[in-house]
Amino acid sequence: MVSPDRAQAIYLDLVARYQTAILNYLWRMVGDAELAEDLTQETFTRAWRALDRLELDDDAEARRRAWLYRIAHNAATDHLRRKARLRWLPLDALRLGGGDPAPGIAAAHPVRLALDRLSADQRQVLLLFAEAGLTADEVADVLGISAVAARKRRQRAREAF
C-alpha cells in the first residue's frame, strides 16, 4: 500500500504541473475566466477526493494527466448541463476585446477564426491534442471513446480546420 504522504506529494505535483493548463482548457470550454477558475478549483477538489483512485506508480504520469483532464472535462460538462447550455467562447471575441483570457492564452487572428468555424466537438478534440498535448490514448480516456476514435476525430477536425 502506498503511503498517504506519497499520494499527497503526487497530488501536489499534479496541481503544480497542470493548474494553468487545466484553467486554459476550461476557459476555452466555458468562455468565462471567473467560471473557469471556479471549475479549476472544483477539478482539483474532485481529484483530491478521488485520490484513492489515482495511479501512483512511477510510470503512470500520462494516465494521471488524462485522469485530471477527464475530471476537468466532467466538471465543465456537469456545469454546462446544469445550466442547460453549451457555450464555447467565439475565439473572434478575443480580437474584439470580449472575454478575459486566462494566463497564457494567445493565438493568431486567422487561427482564432478557423477554430471558431469548427463544431464544439472538433474544437474540443483539437484543444486536447494540440494545446493540452494529450496522446490519443489520453484523449480517449478523457472523452470516453477508443484511441482509434480519438485519432479519427482529430483527423476530421484537422480537415475541417
pLDDT tens-place string over residues 20-54: 999 999 988 877 889 999 999 999 999 999 888 77
119 pLDDT above the threshold of 90: no
- Beta-carbon contacts of 116 under 8 Å, excluding residues fewer than 6 positions away, are 90, 91, 92
| pLDDT value for 90 | 55
Counting Cβ atoms within 10 Å, is residue 91 exposed (0-12), middle (13-18) or buried (19+)? Answer: buried
105 pLDDT above the threshold of 60: no
Q: What angle do CA 52, 57, 59 make, to 5 degrees?
A: 140
Q: How far is the C-alpha of 38 from the C-alpha of 58, rounded, in Å?
A: 30
- Beta-carbon contacts of 140 under 8 Å, excluding residues fewer than 6 positions away, are 146, 147, 149, 150
Assign 3-state DSSP to the chain and report helix, strand, coil percentages, each to 5: 70, 0, 30
| pLDDT value for 88 | 53
